[in-house]
Amino acid sequence: MALQASKIQVGDTHTQKLTDDLSRTQIVQYAGASGDYNPLHTDEIFTKEIANYPTVFAHGMLTMGMTGRMVTDYVGDGRLTAYGVRFTRQVWPGDALTATATVDAVREEDGQSVVDLSVSTVNQDGDVVVMGKATAKIDP
């Protein structure tokens, strides 16, 4: 079911928990599926000893992909026309992530109802890890 313009207004929010405890294995899964095998995401020894980070961290695109679930669950399947984020903070194994969409505008474009959303995902400390925008075609 797609979102309906008549049932939402500017300022409405939709929040979804993405994970309680991001596992290293999920990061490995993402490396395998996406093809981004950068050792910074999966190789603790390289990441600590060569790259000088405290531990491996998630691909930004994993956080964006997880956040995308919240967006498509809200607007409906196949409805997105734009989705973009900035990666504002690293996501580490063990992080808990919660994503929120906020309705910025409900408008008509060539007779089609459209919603503009602000999107952000925060970690367990309330720090924003990704923030951005999404636009979707919705029902009247």
DSSP 21: S
Is residue 95 close enough to count as binding other proteins by CB under 8 A? no
Instruction: Report the Cα 102 to chain-centroid distance in Å.
Output: 13
Amino acid (one-letter) located at 114: V
Is residue 128 close enough to count as binding other proteins by CB under 8 A? no
- Nearer to other proteins among residue 73 and residue 108 (C-beta): 73
- Which positions from 7 through 66 interact with other proteins, judged by CB under 8 A? 18-19, 26, 29-30, 32-40, 42-43, 45-46, 49-54, 59-62, 64-66
Is residue 74 close enough to count as binding other proteins by CB under 8 A? no
96: CB partners within 8 A, 6+ apart: 17, 19, 20, 21, 22, 123, 124
Amino acid (one-letter) located at 1: M
48: CB partners within 8 A, 6+ apart: 54, 55
Q: Which residues of the chain form contacts with other proteins (CB under 8 A)?
A: 2, 18-19, 26, 29-30, 32-40, 42-43, 45-46, 49-54, 59-62, 64-66, 68-69, 71-73, 76-78, 80-87, 90, 92, 127, 132
